Amino acid sequence: MAPKRTKKQSPPFDPDGMFAGMAVFLAENGVQPRRLQIWKQKLEQMGASIEDRLSKKVTHVFAMNSDSLLKQIGRERLSRFKGSVLLYKWLEDSLSIGEKVSEAPFVLALKSGAAAASSKKSLEETGSKGADGHDSSDVETSEHKRIRTSPEYHKTVSSEDTASAVNNDAYTGSDDLSAPLVPVNSSPTTPDSLNKTVGTSDSSLPYSPPDQNQNITEIFGKLMNIYRALGDDRRSFSYSKAIAVIEKLPFRIESVDQVKHLPAIGKSMQDHIQEIVNTGKLSKLEHFETDEKVRTISLFGEVWGIGPATALKLYEKGHRTLEDLKNDDSLTNSQRLGLKYFDDIKTRIPRHEVQEMEHLLQNAAEEILPGVMVVCGGSYRRGKASCGDLDIVITHPDGKSHIGFLRKYVKHLKDIKFLREDLVFSIHSEEPFPTEYNKLQGTDAGVDTYFGLYTYPGRELRHRIDLKVYPRDIYAFGLIAWTGNDVLNRRYAHFIF
């Protein structure tokens, strides 16, 4: 718990602020009282009025999910409401960027009473089992049942699919490591149907608290990347650990005394934080950004396939820009692809697009091998709003059908113009099962791997994708590893691998 701070004067009320004209009703179920208090304060300061009951005056209702909303307001009353019913995530995202975001992805719709009753009866008749045979209480734990919202405004969702009250600020994934995070349909994926597949799935938006100390975490993130490019993994990891702690704090840091007791915030980090709080910048980062060698090696290290040693060699050859690298004959084919699509690869992928691709990949996999399990891990599975790439983890429940699957899968994804360029392709599933020594060494024995570039249907922009096919008996460990983050993987590597 942070030490008490000197009370500061609240920002002035702005009647023409960002939320001017909004009359808001806040559903309190499932919301921490302190967080609710902050949201009320922000809304009122920026022009909104807070209503204590649902009336004709209300323009917007906010809730954690449909379950918590229905506990507070009856379905019949909600059916008569003509305003917008949104997830609190809309409010968080709007506050984070300083302007109102589109309401469409955050609309919280409800099925009619008859449809909801039918869904409930169906669930009871199947013994509370999901479509894949997993117990629903395992697949969707209390801290991470999916919140279904619609990018198409009025697509309905079942209350059985919504999140239960979130009790912690930190997001945690499902306890059932084998369960796909989203349902799939059985429609075949072909070149003609590829564009029809996307844009039809509901967006999964797990609750994730806003980063109230982005001024600090952004600077630390730059230092983390610089040290990684320089090959200093120890320092890079130190900043990574500090970021993971700071970005989850429920308060804005105004004094280093508030955080000096926290893990990963040692004396050096404390000094950095104090300087950023006092000045808004960090002299250490400014020094790095003006040093030609550091700046150049960091730039080269951002090219996919170029590590610290190669980046240093390229610098010593006299290269200073990405344009210089295009004429270097020593680059591998993968590095040339990383250079060619440098800007594309660095472009973040919105969360709703990642979910659409997970649906597409599951459908395509089912056409080749019925029953195959395809899960998108990485920052998507950790609940982030955008991802740097797709980390896809695959297995089959029977423990043997996964062998030889990846070759057929990659070919099919190329045939439908989804996969475009290959970076890495290695097959190990047909090798003898790994010895205990190889397991301890963390080799890829038994695991098939494909790294490449894909395009979202209808575009030419390249994004990175990693496909990993695991034997069923070690799939859970692979899913943990490819969900990450790097702090978790490093800390528990001896358990995961």
Residues annotated as part of the active site? 272
Q: Distance between CA 46 and CA 17 in Å, rounded?
A: 4
> C-alpha distances in angstroms, 304 versus 33, 229, 314, 445?
45, 12, 14, 24
> C-alpha distances in angstroms, 195 versus 20, 183, 318, 417, 451?
39, 19, 45, 11, 23
Q: Are 347 and 455 in contact (CB under 8 A)?
A: no
Compute the half-sphere exposure of residue 468: CA atoms within 13 Å on the CB side of its CA.
25
> C-alpha distances in angstroms, 191 versus 22, 175, 359, 407?
45, 36, 15, 19
- How many C-beta atoms lie closer than 10 Å to residue 346's C-beta? 12
Q: Distance between CA 149 and CA 24 in Å, rounded?
A: 20
Q: Distance between CA 35 and CA 49 in Å, rounded?
A: 17
